[in-house]
Amino acid sequence: MIRIPVNRPYKYSIALPTAIEGDTLTYTIYKQSDGSTFASGSPTYNVGIFWDITFTPTTLSEKYLLEVLDVSGDRVGKEEFEAVGRTVEVPSEEALDTTAAGMLTAVNTAIAQILAGGAVQSYSIAGRNVQKMTLTELYDIRDRLQQEVNRAIGPARNYASF
């Protein structure tokens, strides 16, 4: 079973050794909880024996069954998936605050998610490895951004009397 992120488009390259470029294939993705059809369509030829299917799982912990059929209705491939992770809203590029203060907020949010167990530091899906920033890296970035924000606010004065 392949674990995939919930509420994010997921592109899966399935190996179909009996299919060649130009074949007419269809796929159906079923929810295993009730057997209903979640998505269907035609896979896109990639290269060699690989065909691409993209879908977005919407329910955390839902298990999905992918079946690929050839033109005669014979099953030529199948795979099982489970949706994992948290629902994360990804802001559009227009809404992304790239100021030092905005980026500091984003870094603090990332740190909080890791500390709460909501962010994975690395994972592997279908032989592809993805690495996220470590807490140490995020702390370093946070400290640099905080210094930049402090500089923009202006110098602080401390007085000491003896």
pLDDT, position 87: 41
Please list, in sequence order, all residues whose beta carbon lies within 8 angstroms of the beta carbon of residue 103, skipping any fewer than 6 positions away.
Answer: 97, 145
**Cα separation of 128 and 90, whole Å?**
22
Query: Tell me, which fold does domain 2-84 have in CATH?
Result: Immunoglobulin-like (2.60.40)
Q: Could you tell me which of 67, 59, 57, 76 has the C-alpha nearest to residue 19?
A: 76
For residue 77, report the phi and psi dihedrals to the nearest 5 degrees: -170, 150
pLDDT, position 89: 46
pLDDT, position 109: 76
Residue 84 has pLDDT above 50, yes or no: yes
**Cα separation of 103 and 39, whole Å?**
37
Pairing of strands 75-84, 122-125: unpaired
> How many Cα neighbours within 13 Å face the side chain of 8?
17
pLDDT, position 36: 93
pLDDT, position 96: 55
Domain spans in the chain, listed from the N-terminal domain onward: 2-84, 100-153
Reading the block at residue 19, the tokens are 């299919």
Question: Model-level pTM?
Answer: 0.52
